[in-house]
Amino acid sequence: MPEPAAPDLVWYASYGANMSADRFACYVSGGVPPGGARANPGCRDRTPPRDRRALWLEGGVHFAFASPMWGGGLALYDPGLPGAAPARAYLVTAGQFADIAAQEMYQAPRADHDLAEVVRTGRLVLGPGRYETLLYCGGLDGHPVLTFTASERSTDVPAAAPSAGYLGTIGRGLRAAHGWSARRTGAYLAGRPGAVRAWTAEEVAAVVEGSAAD
């Protein structure tokens, strides 16, 4: 059976702050996201995404480690968690996906990845960084759905509460992608490991309501 060809276009599935179109645009075109503390250099190819979709990823999201951009815990995806995680997918080139992944690790975009291997094996570990494990999450309209996360399971790392600014950005994107109310968004995010006991659903809903529209 022939090896799968490297895809030209992929769906990048975001489950965290990049669900906000404004925040994601800084990865493509460069700039400092609203509420962020660091500038992104942007992709080598600054063409906007060709499409965007709301979707669900099998598994769940948790908060751990620490974000230099936002402060507080980082949103990470664990396909082994029960349930499904709401996400937003952007149709980008394979090179743009590599550049987005590099910027998540505060690296300069400069190299492509063997995405054919990710599609074939389901997982490719590029390094020990928080977002250096690439995952294949199925297909959509003839293109692979890919995301990235940490190599560790959620049970193997200490939980860390996310910051208000981070939750506001995630919530803004979640509402725009899935059409959720602030109340539903607050309940979802406050129930994620790492946010539990640090935030109430009402507190997160208030943060989300005070966040600018996506």
The DSSP code sequence of 21-37 is HHHHHHHHH-BPPTT-S
Encode pLDDT of 101-144 as tens digits.
999 888 888 878 889 999 999 999 998 888 999 999 999 999 99
Give the per-residue pLDDT at 141: 96
Q: What is the pLDDT of residues 20-30, one digit of tens each?
A: 999 999 999 99
Structure tokens at 122: 């389901």
Tokens coding 113: 């990845």
Place of tokens 């660091």: 38
Question: Which residue ranges in the chain fall short of pLDDT 70?
Answer: 1-5, 35-36, 212-214
Residue ranges of the domains in the chain?
Answer: 9-159
Q: How far apart (Å, rounded) are the C-alpha atoms in residues 13 and 79?
A: 13
Place of tokens 């640090």: 198
The reported pLDDT for the residue numbered 61 is 98
Q: Cα-flanking dihedrals φ and ψ of residue 159, to 5°?
A: -70, 150
